[in-house]
Amino acid sequence: MQEQIDLLGKIAGVYTDILSKISNAGKHLDFINAELGSITIWYRPEHAISWNGIKNSLPDVQAFIKDVKDYVSTLDFSSLWQKVKTFLSLPGN
């Protein structure tokens, strides 16, 4: 009985970790979606476009890509995969 209780505790821990990762990813996606859907990000009057702005667009895109890579690198997929493999290798699964 104690072994089953311990196993259920481990399963609950893995489940909680997965829910946390999904929740965080969902929040980030909601933020990105809100930014992309905002009219202020896309609308610019003609006089607001300058040569300096055009020259800075490539560094801005590079900075954005770096930020996305940095965020993705914080996700630990191997740890999550190991937890799933451990769970599936337990007796009775």
pLDDT at 32: 86
d(CA 52, CA 93): 61
Stronger pLDDT, 22 or 84, i.e. the higher one = 22
Tell me, what's the pLDDT at 41?
A: 61
Of residues 84 and 29, the one with the higher pLDDT is: 29
- What pLDDT does residue 38 have? 75
Q: Which own/partner contact pairs does 24-29 have at CB distance under 8 Å and 24+ positions apart?
A: 28/71
- Number of domains the chain contains: 1
Domain span including residue 54: 2-89
Tens digits of per-residue pLDDT, 7-62?
A: 999 999 999 999 999 999 999 999 988 887 776 666 666 666 777 777 888 888 99
